[in-house]
Chains A and B, each alone.
Chain A
Amino acid sequence: MAGPKYPGFDTLALHAGQSPDPATGARAVPVYQTTSYVFRDTEHAASLFNMERAGHVYSRISNPTVAVLEERIAALEGGVGAIATASGQAALHLAVATLMGAGAHIVASGSLYGGSHNLLAYTLKRFGIDTTFVSPRDPENFRQAIRENTRLLFGETLGNPGLDVLDIPAVAAIAHQAKVPLLVDATFTTPWLMLPFELGADLLYHSATKFLGGHGVAIGGVLVDSGRFDWEASGKFDTLTAPYAGFHNMDFEEESGTRAFLLRARREGLRDFGACMAPMTAFQILQGVETLHLRMPRHVENTRKVVAFLDKHPAVEKVIYPELASHPDHELCRKLLPKGAGAVFSFEIKGGRPAGKKFIESLRVFSHLANVGDAKSLVIHPATTTHYRMSDEDLKRAGITAGTVRLSIGLEDAQDLIDDLERSLKAAMK
């Protein structure tokens, strides 16, 4: 007798979380553009509010269209469930706010998206949550920074801007020895390139704005829980294991075990902070998720061609991509990212700021904007945009130079991308 078999990734990307609409038979996920849901009677209303029945009450807490996206991403990641949020930043904030309050401490990779760095370094500090940033290149750095009040280890699967590959198995082991979870930002890798839970991470989130959507039309985030971290055994998470006066003295872990984190995040985090996803946004991101397994291989294939071109170009100082032997995490990349190191990378153009400026202005296919993970190829020159106030010294501390250019490789004809780059590099060297 053949053993049981799970549906494959491609099938889940198209079907998980949704059956044809029971009311109309609609095959596509309907957009339930509604704020609220009529109760059958007062008893039904009371039992929904008191979590004695499953269902929807108010779209800030849950919505049928958003729930399909949440379940689908949870299925692709192998989690117990997910919560969709207004943005990737909202997902990070929801994770932190669910786990800890003032007086707590986070150990985070120093190689982070600027928005995440701002939240941890400045904003959360104002609310009493401190973060120590460490180089992710040596997992032991995380261990050295752990304190008695540390409640979370955090990093990106592929760090910003140097594409440091987070050694998830090693960092997760350090986190678990300290009885705290590891949260990863998996935006650059998506579940098609890497399954962080299989490597030991406990929680993850995506900026769904990027590859999950892929079309660049909607801002959103998704926070996923593996359900594997034992909050009760840890003893460090009162928000999940002690009665909560804000919800009928519910002890979330006692109530729901593996679902405790998501239950609190939804019932408190979405209720009180309110950074929920709109149903139309969920619908738009779902359109992207349904082709994720087709788009990601092409993203990687195009990226490899562009990287190979730039790596040999005389106007290029260096290319920073973990699949190259010159990258310090090359071996780790081969181990953790066998399907590819994604489609976002940077290179250094010779000639500093003026060359970078000229290069950007000469591009015709690449779009100059502040985003990544789109089906269209994107480019940004940090020294003249996101980091334009910084001196060359400050740029160096941030891990970039005046000549650093970040590319997000899309799905166009790879030769057109190479031609565009070649012509613009030539212009920049004049």
Chain B
Amino acid sequence: MNFKVDGKAAFAYTAAHELVPDKRTLVFVHGAGLDHSSFGLQSRYFGYHGWNVLALDLPGHGRSAGPPLPGIAAMADWVFRFLDQISVPGKVNLTGHSMGALVALECAARQPARVERIALIGVAYPMKVSDAFLDAARRNDPAAFDMETIWGHAAQVPLRGDPNPGMWMYGDTLARLRRLAPGVLYNDLKACDEYQLAGSVQCPVLFVLGRRDIMTPPRGAAALQEKLADSKTVMIEPSGHSLMAEAPDATLEALAGFFRR
């Protein structure tokens, strides 16, 4: 569904449903260089199971106009401006993947009165990005796409089947990245690398982590897990960083169980 935020085109996938005031709302925030469709199966499930779904395209991604926003805090503020624009009532729930997880975290810290629960998929804190990766992205070198593609999946992915029949996970990630405007991936990676959580988060938090995650290994979430008062973790054994694609059912079960309460 097309919206306007700050006078610019902004898109959110709603699973072909109108937003209804008496439903709970679940906002999905994608990772670096990606878009709403990375939550395809999971966001569709919630949309058809009684939720208002808003799977966002952050500015400069997917169907939302650019430029990309400089930093996680700016992205979190934009999420609230988006919600203000469409008058979402009450508290919202957020699910974020990777960079999007940091955005969800920052939303919960900035406006705790508006956030009920957050789920953080494939997250590490701090989310440091290697110099080689950042440098390649800064130069808009296609090697950066290769790094995101290969490190963004479990090492076993190219030699095993995609849960979606007939799809090739590496090819799909590369195709998404190749659609980006120059500089967007660098903007996102830099935002991850520089992010520092300033406030505190009081709402319940779910961590969904992939045991075989190369990009944000599970141990990278430990510092954040210790910082949060009310959190639980679901570890998905065979998955790498792209949990929604690599282990779609297990990721969905984790989210559904957490948000069902």
- Give residues in A with beta carbon < 8 Å to B: 1, 3-7, 11-12, 15-19, 47, 50-56, 62-64, 66-68, 70-71, 74-75, 78-84, 226-228, 230, 232, 243, 248-251, 254-259, 262, 266
Contact = CB atoms under 8 A, between A and B. Distances in A.
Given A75-B171, A80-B175, A81-B171, A50 B166 contact: no
Interface string B21-56: 000000000000001010011001100100000000
B76 to A, nearest CB: 24
A80 B16 contact: no
Contacts of B62: 257
B198 interface: no
A7 B158 contact: yes
B170 A6 contact: yes
B166 A74 contact: yes
Contacts of A78: 171, 174
B85 to A, nearest CB: 19
B213 to A, nearest CB: 14
Contacts of B176: 227, 257-258
A243 B16 contact: yes
Given A4-B151, A19-B161, A255-B37, A62 B44 contact: no
A51 B48 CA distance: 10
B150 interface: yes
Contact of A79 (B164, B165, B168, B248): B168
Contacts of B146: 3-4, 6
Interface string B134-155: 0000000001001101110000
A168 B245 CA distance: 32
Nearest to B38: A257
A80 B172 contact: yes
A51 B165 contact: no
A80 B159 contact: no
A62 B166 contact: yes
A256 B166 CA distance: 14
A50 B48 contact: yes
B172 A259 contact: yes
Contact of B16 (A3, A52, A56, A248): A248
Nearest to A18: B161
Contacts of A248: 16
A54 B163 contact: yes
